[in-house]
Amino acid sequence: MAYGIAGAASGLARLVRGQGAAQCRTRLALVLRVENVEMLRASIGPALLEQMLDRLLLRLVAELRLLPQGRSQGCGEILGLFAIGRQQAVPGLLARLQAICAEGIVLPDLRICPVMNAAIVSDETGRQEAAALYAHGRMALQGLSPFSAAGQIRFVETGAQAEPGGLAVSALDRVGVLFQPQLCCDTGQVRALRALPRMRMDDGEGCDLAEVAPRLDDAVLGQVVAELLRQAFAGLRGWDRLGRPVPLLSLPLSDRMLGDAAIADTILWELDRNDLAPQRLEIEVSEPIGRGGGRMPVTASLQRLIAAGCSLALGGFGTGSAGLDDLRRFGIGRVRIGREFIAGCDLRADQQRMILAILALAEHLGLATVADGVATQEENAFLAQIGFNAVQGPAVALPLDASAVDDFLLDRDHALPAPFELRRKA
């Protein structure tokens, strides 16, 4: 396919092939891999995916003087040789490549941030074939764990041993769950716990599962979700035994997770195994529903769960494009309103008008509401006063692990939010 560089000078081609002056014998090759290409294909479609990959390639050519090898349609791997013949140029090259990977790709009316890793391979002799350099780069990328930080750029000298592939710790050993309490604005009691899936990274730090999921293949992601369900439902069952039952567990699942044909069976089997009623599980979806996992399989999974008795919530209400048809079709019962609407609501008149309008719409549609990201007690009191059903955030309770939830439920006082006089700031 054409890349818009047909007029490149023949001297450039000779240089990157090692046919130039003696001081330019070092050759550098690039192997760049878009890790989440399949997820992007499902979410934005094949046509936009091709545009994104072409735009990325053109940027590499324009900014890094890359002479690319032909790319197969739909392939997330970009190969090429650099028109740089001196080792001293490598630090700057690495920095510019890192910037390109971090900034994302801008298309008309859309900015995409693919997950990318890359290897730059050095051949100081200038005698190795391009195919051999690409093989070295692929070996280096195979050594990257999906639980390593994204956007890694590796520099490889031919002859050096690539790091071994595989994970030192299995994906299931990395799964953890935190629980975000949601408190009822009328009683101050725990209305629900929102599960926050976490993954332990190679550096020992934890991160949201959503950050890692694009780098996991479907089979591994399915195993991770199954382990997440086991831990979350075990916690719910444990609080029942403690005598402090939690009415509802809210579990956010992405379109890709819901698009798995086995997800509904897995959820219902785990509920049955833990002797939990499906009515105690709320599946939180994001709008537009089905865009990231295929509309039909996501719909089939949701309908199966709804028929069994699970309820549905919509995250990020007011920021997406879910239509009234979706709200009715899926029987959405609750909506989560994010920090972008909550911030400064006790002081800012514009925020107050916006929140009141969203609340009025939710009430008209018969939807319960939960305010997310409540950061101050003043915000908390204001939101309770104007009619929110529940609140969550740092000012309400921090995310807790299962053992800390035990103490929270045992020690929880059920005091109502303090009265609060509305203050407006123009």
What single string gives the DSSP state of each residue in 29-73?
Answer: EEEEEETTHHHHHHHH-HHHHHHHHHHHHHHHHHHH-EEEPP--T
pLDDT for 227: 93
Greater model confidence, 141 or 378: 378
Say yes or no to pLDDT of 385 above 50: yes
Question: Please, which pLDDT band fits residue 72 given cuts at 50, 70 and 90?
Answer: confident
Integer angstrom CA distances of residue 289 from 194, 255, 296, 320, 323: 19, 7, 10, 10, 10
Greater model confidence, 117 or 280: 280
Q: Report the mean per-residue pLDDT for the chain.
A: 82
pLDDT for 29: 92
Q: Determine the residue type at 135.
A: A
Residue 148 has phi, psi (to 5 degrees) of: -85, 165
pTM for the predicted model, two decimal places: 0.68
Strands 116-123, 27-34: pairing is: antiparallel
Question: Please, which pLDDT band fits residue 14 given cuts at 50, 70 and 90?
Answer: very low
pLDDT for 216: 82
Contact 381, 371 (CB under 8 A): no
Say yes or no to pLDDT of 312 above 90: yes
Token digits of residue 19:
């046919």
Three-state SS for 251? Answer: strand
With CA atoms as reference, report the closest residue to 59 among 35, 80, 88.
Answer: 80
Average pLDDT over residues 306-318: 90
Greater model confidence, 132 or 181: 181
Average pLDDT over residues 120-149: 80
Question: Please, which pLDDT band fits residue 266 given cuts at 50, 70 and 90?
Answer: very high
Say yes or no to pLDDT of 418 above 80: no
For residue 185, list its beta bridge partners: none
Strands 153-157, 175-184: pairing is: unpaired
Ranges 150-159, 207-216, 243-252, 303-312: which has the least confidence: 150-159
Average pLDDT over residues 153-164: 64
Question: Please, which pLDDT band fits residue 150 given cuts at 50, 70 and 90?
Answer: low
Say yes or no to pLDDT of 220 above 60: yes
Question: Please, which pLDDT band fits residue 86 given cuts at 50, 70 and 90?
Answer: low
With CA atoms as reference, report the closest residue to 372 among 390, 359, 357.
Answer: 390
Q: Look at the block and give the residue holding tokens 């560089």.
A: 5
Question: Please, which pLDDT band fits residue 165 given cuts at 50, 70 and 90?
Answer: very low
Q: What percent of the chain has pLDDT over 90?
A: 43
pLDDT for 426: 34
